[in-house]
Structure 1
Amino acid sequence: MLLKVERILDRFSDIIGWISAALMLVMLVNVFYDAILRYFFRTGSIAMQELEWHIFSVVFLFGISYALKEEGHVRVDVLYDGFSPKLKAIINIVGTFIFLIPLAYLIISGSIWFVHESYTMGEISGDPGGLTHTYLIKSVIPLSFILLIVSALGFVVRNIRMYRGQVFSSQDKIEDNIL
């Protein structure tokens, strides 16, 4: 049962990672286009430059969920690497419930008003020719931390399995790639 839940949550995190990777390619094309316009045609677009920043922020904020799933997040590996798998699992579970989820909740609850305020006042870019509908980019903040909580649940399930000694077999990995 835990393996199925973990697979579903991991698949969700993989989709978020795929979205981040796709947006990184979109950002690359945007930067290339903007650079060509600026250096070869001596023109440019403020909206395109702002779009670069906005896409980068989405890539970063969505990428946090995928980084957690892949265990690419920051921790004190000098100490952590020497611990037993059970102790690592306990540290990961406790750290997720004491630090990660409460912080994510605080950011979600603190940023909802930020998005709402931007939407109700019809906020647009302060630069002439900039982007409109800035509430859309601001809405990525609470959304990304909701996604982080979902990824954190998958991380907790994986660590529960690790604590119980139920690690992935090579067959589990093959079946996971097929599904």
Structure 2
Amino acid sequence: MSFPRYLSQKIDYVSALTGKSASLVLPVLVITILVNVSLRYVFNIGLIELEELQWHLNAIVVVLCLGYTFQHDEHVRVDVLSHRFSPKTRAWLEIMGLLLLFFPFTALVTWHTWHIAAYSWELREGSPMPSGLPARYLIKGVMALGNSIFVLQGFSILLQKLSFVAGNSNEQHTKSGDTI
């Protein structure tokens, strides 16, 4: 097995493990929302802690599942014409999209999230609300980690597409992550 293929598989493994692990937070998020809505609209009790917990849990799920979603091609796309193209042409379009759009944007966002997380960690930032959650720096660190995994997953897809167009692989990944 070539090193690019090996590296791509390792990145895919990390993305899948992270995404599947983060998805386990969803039941907790749903319960938190149900409790918050019940307390607010049935008992007229509003808790800042539950509001912030909802946002933190949602951030964990969304950001840590980005790479996994991208790996399985379940992200939003605007593919009006690509179904008419050959697999090699689609792979070239994917490569160009990654290099010209994906990497510049996600690298910039990731670089900033790490700086924001580091600054938040230095301050030991918490909620500005007196009854809010402490340790807001932890969620900012999770966001930086999730963005980093997202960028790595883009690199894995780039390696796969380059291998395909170079003829080193006769495999084209499908939505499920299997190969055809």
TM-score (norm 2): 0.81
Larger displacement relative to structure 2 (15-24 or 37-46) = 37-46
- 1:73 matched to 2:75? The reply is yes
Give runs of aligned pairs for residues 24-173 of structure 1, distance below 5 A. 24-163=26-165, 164=167, 166-167=170-171, 173=178
Find 1:18's aligned residue among 17, 20, 27. 20
Aligned residue pair count: 172
Instruction: Decide which structure has greater helix share.
Output: 1
Amino acid at match of 1:131: L
Deviations 1:121-147 (A, max 9, x none): 232212231011111111223212210
Question: What is the deviation of 1:28?
Answer: 0.9
Q: Assess if the C-alpha contact under 8 Å between 1:85 and 1:162 holds in 2.
A: no
Amino acid at match of 1:167: E
Question: What is the deviation of 1:106?
Answer: 1.1
Specify every segment of 5 or more residues in structure 1 that has no aligned partner in the other structure, as ranges. 175-179
Q: Assess if the C-alpha contact under 8 Å between 2:20 and 2:65 holds in 1.
A: no
Separation of aligned partners in 1, 2:159 and 2:119:
36
Amino acid at match of 1:105: A
Separation of aligned partners in 1, 2:178 and 2:71:
15
Q: Assess if the C-alpha contact under 8 Å between 2:59 and 2:143 holds in 1.
A: no
Amino acid at match of 1:85: P
| Counterpart for residue 9 of structure 1 | 11
Query: What is the identity percentage for the equivalent residue pairs of Structure 1 and Structure 2?
Result: 26
Question: What is the deviation of 1:54?
Answer: 1.2
